[in-house]
């Protein structure tokens, strides 16, 4: 667990408490209110995602795979995603303006490797991002996530008969307060790959999520054999927070 709440790197931010006094002018208050209520355009959302996402300079020790861009889904994947959203009760996915993934960065090889990537999902309004986040991390949302992940493992195992298959799975979701942003959570997923009932590989996923205005930002860190070091996760997560608040929509 990262003790990030005490970092104090940001005095105010997206959904966080402001350190300014009550003497702010009515003009600035009106401007902030207008900004908060005005729908975001797709162009604004894409620009925000590019400004926030991880880049090669953040992880010079890692190799870059693929390019940053919109998350592409096949027709079957879109149907599955829609079913999952319907399960946990989130807003219609077609309302989303953009979902931009960073490149995937990795180091090591095979069973001793690790990888990190970020994702920025932008909605037209803060109300929609709040609604999606609240539903996703609700008890209903957590149950849906576990059910769908188990189903995905079963499908993959049918395709991998005789090879490494997915074994046991443990998921934990808990609040992870971050300075200057809201609705921050950490979801940990510990799973195994087995062969003939013998565990061959342990896989550790740490998925950090927070909201900045109408945007949901995720950092996913995956380690094989051992988790990605907490210091690396903390450094990258705070970089995302800093960029998100600096470029707040």
What per-residue confidence (pLDDT) applies to 79? 86
Distance CA 226, CA 223 (A): 5
For the CA atoms of 5, 11, 14, 20, the dihedral, rounded to the nearest 10 degrees, stands at 140
Q: What is the pLDDT of residue 27?
A: 43
The answer to whether the beta carbons of residues 249 and 148 sit under 8 Å apart is no
Q: 196, 186, 151, 155: which is closest to 169 by C-alpha?
A: 151
Task: Quote the pLDDT of residue 38.
Answer: 72
How far is C-alpha 154 from the chain's CA centre? Answer: 24
Say what the pLDDT of residue 40 is: 87
Tokens at residue 247, please?
A: 């470029």
The crossing angle, in degrees rounded to 10, of helices 126-136 and 139-159 is 70
Rounded distance between C-alpha atoms, residue 64 and residue 83, angstroms: 32
Q: Which pLDDT belongs to residue 109?
A: 87
Which residues of 92-214 form beta strands (DSSP E)? 98-101, 104-107, 114-122, 165-175, 182-195, 198-212
Structural domains in the chain plus CATH codes: 39-246 (3.40.1000)
- The pLDDT assigned to 122 comes to 97
pLDDT at 15: 53
Predicted local distance difference test score (pLDDT) of residue 160:
81
- pLDDT given for residue 187 in this prediction: 98
Rounded Cα gap, residues 163 and 112, in angstroms: 19
**Longest C-alpha distance within the chain, in Å?**
69
For residue 138, the model assigns a pLDDT of 96
Question: Mean pLDDT for each consecutive 10-residue tract of the chain (249 residues)?
Answer: 33 42 40 58 96 97 92 82 94 94 94 95 96 97 95 90 88 94 96 91 97 97 96 97 95
């Amino acid at each position: 667990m990262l003790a990030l709440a005490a970092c104090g790197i940001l005095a105010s931010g997206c959904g966080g408490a402001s350190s300014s006094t009550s003497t702010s002018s009515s003009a600035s208050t009106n401007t902030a209110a207008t900004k908060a209520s005005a729908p975001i355009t797709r162009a604004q959302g894409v620009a925000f995602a590019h400004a926030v996402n991880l880049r090669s300079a953040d992880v010079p020790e890692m190799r870059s795979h693929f390019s940053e861009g919109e998350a592409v889904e096949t027709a079957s994947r879109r149907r599955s995603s829609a079913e999952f959203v319907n399960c946990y009760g989130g807003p219609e996915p077609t309302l989303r303006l953009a979902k931009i993934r960073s490149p995937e960065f990795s180091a090591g090889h095979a069973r001793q490797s690790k990888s990190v990537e970020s994702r920025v999902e932008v909605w037209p309004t803060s109300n929609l991002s709040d609604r999606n986040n609240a539903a996703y991390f609700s008890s209903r949302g957590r149950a849906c996530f576990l059910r769908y992940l188990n189903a995905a493992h079963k499908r993959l195992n049918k395709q991998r008969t005789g090879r490494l298959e997915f074994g046991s799975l443990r998921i934990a979701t808990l609040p992870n307060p971050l300075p200057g942003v809201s609705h921050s959570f950490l979801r940990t997923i510990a799973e195994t790959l087995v062969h003939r009932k013998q565990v061959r590989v342990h896989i550790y996923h740490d998925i950090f999520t927070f909201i900045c205005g109408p945007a949901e930002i995720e950092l996913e860190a995956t380690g094989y054999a051992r988790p990605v070091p907490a210091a690396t996760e903390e450094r990258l997560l705070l970089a995302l927070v800093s960029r998100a608040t600096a470029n707040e929509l």
